[in-house]
């Protein structure tokens, strides 16, 4: 068994009710109050719902594996009558979480082997992950970075400065993704400072932020935050809705505030067995996202992180579910289905194969309804673009070296 973090004991920590009906609006809609009153153990959770025996067993079995933490807002979405509630299943551990299989990995995405500077993960040639904080507004049971988040060793100022220095000197980096933990847990002033430092680097073209706070603490997306973020365009935000029940009026309003500030919002859903692993559930989520002005971006096959085998679907099921989306819905509502190759080898599309045969003169394709259609191949095959030599004459070719190869740093 791998020990990741020591979690607070089962002693009651909260004082006063954290049920929505008992909390004044001034507190409930204060994101600092939400984060300061996170439910962290069985005693806390029992104040909100009647825990099922399996949930109590899961909390006890996983106590030394990975922190529990749920905002009162997110806990208020739990179905008190059904332990199969998608909110409960994402936030409350299952006893099988302690059953760590041989093929499961502490670092499933190989981030620790692509870490050329503190707080920087550089796996792809032109972009880096910048880990700026180690805390979250929820500790998802499927978290692929549980070795790092929820701990007690946040990145120091020196770590962040070293990361910024690496990004500034590595000119092949065009894009920076701020993650952690959840970057929106930083104060607005601190986050604005980091964004300003990145925006001042000439070769940084785009900045992205990965956050789950629109889902679990939508009150964080306030006017002050949006006003600061809009100063750093082009800026993109990707969030993480997994079930349509999370698309509450508050969550939708948070996303729309970001969009109104000119920030495109995308969504990365993880395919979770028993939570959203049905065509009906996925269709409802994707349609709800698009209705909320959030673009479905990725649908992830579950990563092979320790203690999550019970939450992963098979790849065959993933492709079958995807077939229930493609063609049956507005294409803008259909995310890319990808598998993040274990060991840090990057995202691999796992789309079903719609090509029946590929010949010199014709291609036979299968439509989303299963019909076979013939597509004629063109007679002229040369795909070269003559104007490339003119338009790109003075521009160097992309530097496509592997991101974290320290040996080729300047």
| CATH code of 223's domain | 3.20.20.70
Domain count, the chain: 3
Please indicate, yes or no, if residue 291 is contained in any of the structural domains. yes
Per-residue pLDDT of the chain (410 residues; tens, 9 = 90+): 232 332 333 344 566 789 999 999 999 999 999 999 999 999 999 999 999 999 999 898 877 778 889 999 999 999 998 999 999 999 999 888 877 787 866 776 667 678 899 899 999 999 999 999 988 999 888 877 776 776 667 889 999 999 999 999 999 999 999 998 899 999 999 999 999 999 999 999 999 999 999 999 999 999 999 999 999 999 999 999 999 999 999 999 999 999 999 999 999 999 999 999 999 999 999 999 999 999 999 999 887 787 788 888 999 999 999 999 999 999 999 999 998 888 777 888 888 888 999 999 999 999 989 999 998 888 888 888 898 898 999 888 888 887 765 545 54
Q: Extract the tokens encoding 308.
A: 């999550």
Please indicate, yes or no, if residue 15 is contained in any of the structural domains. no
- Name the residue range of residue 372's domain: 353-394
Please indicate, yes or no, if residue 402 is contained in any of the structural domains. no
Q: Do 233 and 307 belong to one domain?
A: yes
Q: Do 178 and 90 belong to one domain?
A: no
Q: Do 84 and 169 belong to one domain?
A: no
Please indicate, yes or no, if residue 11 is contained in any of the structural domains. no
Query: Are 291 and 329 spatial neighbours (Cβ–Cβ below 8 Å)?
Result: no
Please indicate, yes or no, if residue 214 is contained in any of the structural domains. yes
Which pLDDT value is given to residue 276? Answer: 94
Q: Do 333 and 363 belong to one domain?
A: no
Please indicate, yes or no, if residue 207 is contained in any of the structural domains. yes
Which pLDDT value is given to residue 258? Answer: 98
Please indicate, yes or no, if residue 400 is contained in any of the structural domains. no
Q: Do 243 and 179 belong to one domain?
A: yes
Q: Do 357 and 295 belong to one domain?
A: no
Please indicate, yes or no, if residue 407 is contained in any of the structural domains. no
Which pLDDT value is given to residue 35? Answer: 94
Query: Are 213 and 184 spatial neighbours (Cβ–Cβ below 8 Å)?
Result: yes
**Cβ neighbours, 10 Å, residue 312:** 21
Q: Do 58 and 118 belong to one domain?
A: no
């Amino acid at each position: 068994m791998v020990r990741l973090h020591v979690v607070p004991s089962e002693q009651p920590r909260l004082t006063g009710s954290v049920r929505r009906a008992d909390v004044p609006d001034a507190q409930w809609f204060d994101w600092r109050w939400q984060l300061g009153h996170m439910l962290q153990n069985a005693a806390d959770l029992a104040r909100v719902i009647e825990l099922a025996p399996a949930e109590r067993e899961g909390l006890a079995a996983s106590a030394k594996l990975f922190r529990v933490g749920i905002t009162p807002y997110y806990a208020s979405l739990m179905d008190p009558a059904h332990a199969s509630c998608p909110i409960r299943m994402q936030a409350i551990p299952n006893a099988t979480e302690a059953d760590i299989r041989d093929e499961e990995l502490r670092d499933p995405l190989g981030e620790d082997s692509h870490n050329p500077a503190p707080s920087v993960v550089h796996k792809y040639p032109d972009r880096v992950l910048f880990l700026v904080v180690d805390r979250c507004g929820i500790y998802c049971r499927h978290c692929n970075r549980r070795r790092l988040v929820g701990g007690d060793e946040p990145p120091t100022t020196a770590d962040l400065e070293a990361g910024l220095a690496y990004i500034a000197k590595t000119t092949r980096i065009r894009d920076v993704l701020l993650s952690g933990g959840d970057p929106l847990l930083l104060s607005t002033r601190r986050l604005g400072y980091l964004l300003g430092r990145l925006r001042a680097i000439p070769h940084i073209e785009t900045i992205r932020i990965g956050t789950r706070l629109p889902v679990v603490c939508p009150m964080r997306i306030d006017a002050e935050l949006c006003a600061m973020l809009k100063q750093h365009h082009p800026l993109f935000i990707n969030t993480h809705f997994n079930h349509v029940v999370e698309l509450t009026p508050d969550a939708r309003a948070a996303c729309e505030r970001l969009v109104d500030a000119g920030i495109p919002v995308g969504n990365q859903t993880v395919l979770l067995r028993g939570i959203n692993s049905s065509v009906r559930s996925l269709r409802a989520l994707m349609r709800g996202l698009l209705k909320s002005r959030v673009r479905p971006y990725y649908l992830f096959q579950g990563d092979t992180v320790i203690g999550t085998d019970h939450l992963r679907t098979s790849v065959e099921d993933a492709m079958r579910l995807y077939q229930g989306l493609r063609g049956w819905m507005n294409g803008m509502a259909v995310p890319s289905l990808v598998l993040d190759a274990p060991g840090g080898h990057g995202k691999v599309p796992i789309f079903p194969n719609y090509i029946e045969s590929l010949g010199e003169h014709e291609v036979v394709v299968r439509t989303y309804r299963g019909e076979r259609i013939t597509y004629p191949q063109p007679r002229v095959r040369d795909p070269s673009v003559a104007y490339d030599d003119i338009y790109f004459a003075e521009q160097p070719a992309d530097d496509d070296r592997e991101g974290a190869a320290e040996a080729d740093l300047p």
